[in-house]
Chain A
Amino acid sequence: AQSVTQPDIHITVSEGASLELRCNYSYGATPYLFWYVQSPGQGLQLLLKYFSGDTLVQGIKGFEAEFKRSQSSFNLRKPSVHWSDAAEYFCAVVVSYNTDKLIFGTGTRLQVFP
């Protein structure tokens, strides 16, 4: 079955440090890939998405993600984290246009220390 794995449940970084959140998917073909952010008490906001083309995708709030087919990964990165980036981050995939199912990973909670 198709699945999305976010191996890190909780990550803590210092403000100004770089960040990488990991995401791996299990699917034979190239899926549509997404990263969402959920701030406390809020809904989900789309950070970026990958459908095809350039494997390095730029998103909002200074985030980027790189699709690596050989590793079935779509890791999220930011060069310098701000305290306001503290939130929960979800990787998600759509594996079939026809069924239109958006499958989420279990999330990574990011804590930022000053």
Chain B
Amino acid sequence: DADVTQTPRNRITKTGKRIMLECSQTKGHDRMYWYRQDPGLGLRLIYYSFDVKDINKGEISDGYSVSRQAQAKFSLSLESAIPNQTALYFCATRGTGDYGYTFGSGTRLTVV
């Protein structure tokens, strides 16, 4: 099994729908992150969490929310999806003191 698992891998949803992207990890890492990738823009940080009770906004958090259900689980929600949220979403983890970020395989989200 992958160290960082994202579900679903692909999703098409309609404008205005609520959608949740899930991330789980087996690394035992405290820190988890959600990034969004758009062509020509690289990856941009949406939210990050240092532990279950510590959640922080990244540079593009508007329109998104997160939930850290457990050390191993970090979910990203789009309360009311809009077409410009069409992107590839990555979850990542890293351990305290270790800068070796581990990325999931990504969720490709299309909002129509």
CB of B50 closer than 8 Å to a CB of A: yes
- The answer for the CA separation of A4 and B43 in the assembled complex, in Å, is 11
Contact among A4, A32, A44, A49 with B103 in the assembled complex (CB-CB below 8 Å): A44
The reply on A56 being an interface residue by CB < 8 A is: no
Cα distance A88–B104 when bound, in Å?
16
Interface secondary structure of B, over-half rule:
strand
CB neighbours (8 Å) of A4 from chain B are 42
A94-B99, A100-B31 as given contacts; A42 in contact with B105, CB under 8 Å = yes
Is the Cβ of B58 less than 8 Å from the Cβ of A106? no
Candidates B4, B41, B48; contact of A100 at CB < 8 Å: B48
What are the residues of chain A within 8 A of B92 when measuring CB–CB? Answer: 44, 102
- Chain B, 25-49, CB within 8 A of any chain A CB: 31, 33, 35, 40-45, 48
**Do residues A44 and B100 form an inter-chain contact, with CB atoms below 8 A?**
no
Size bracket, chain B contacts: 20 to 34
Contact of B40 among A34, A92, A94, A106 (CB under 8 A): A106
- What DSSP secondary structure best describes chain A's contact surface? strand
State the A residues within 8 Å of B (CB): 4, 9, 32, 34, 36, 42-46, 49, 51, 90, 92, 94, 100-107
Binding site for A on B (CB under 8 A): 4, 31, 33, 35, 40-45, 48, 50, 58-59, 90, 92, 99-106
Q: List 12 A-B contacts (CB under 8 A).
A: A34-B99, A36-B103, A43-B4, A43-B104, A44-B43, A46-B101, A46-B102, A90-B43, A100-B31, A100-B50, A102-B92, A103-B45
